[in-house]
Amino acid sequence: MNMNTADFESMLHSGGYKLTAQRQAILEIIQDEKDKHLCTEEIYDEVKKAYPRIGLATVYRNLQLFEKLGLVHHIMLDDGCMRFQILGSQEKHQHHHLVCEVCGDVIDVEEDMLELFEKKLLSEMGFTVKDHRVQFFGICKKCTYKK
């Protein structure tokens, strides 16, 4: 499932970028915590366990790079920071997110359901959809049944 180092290296090299230990470490964190939605600072804290000397700017820079390469996507909830997540290679679009207003959990939903709508947007409004971002806010199962 996880991308191996050789693939990562060739992906970097084809864009003129270099394979560094820091980049590998950052990628590993995001891969390992794929169900979490870590923000830059949280990723920084994790990476520091392996690379105590890494700087926060390096994490910011590389997350931007990873997004440009299509490796990750960011979401913005309303807590004032970007949260990053690995983008599966087979996903055409970013998946949807359910945000529980009680516990704050973020749940991924792979099912798209928007293809028909996007066709309508093209035929009726002439708007060609390249990507979408969908967030549902509400109450998760756990919090519904909790006392």
Q: Which residues bind a second copy (CB under 8 A)?
A: 76, 78, 98, 100-101, 107, 109, 113-114, 116-118, 121, 125-141, 144-145
Exposure on the CB side of residue 140, measured as CA atoms within 13 A: 15
Interface with DNA, residue 49, by CB under 7 A? no
60 contact choice in a second copy, DNA, none (CB below 5 to 8 Å, kind-dependent): DNA
Interface with DNA, residue 56, by CB under 7 A? yes
Amino acid at 119: K
Interface with DNA, residue 62, by CB under 7 A? yes
Alpha-carbon distance of 141 to 124, in angstroms, equals 37
62 contact choice in a second copy, DNA, none (CB below 5 to 8 Å, kind-dependent): DNA
Radius of gyration, alpha carbons of the chain? 17
What residues pair up with 72 in beta bridges, in sequence order? 86
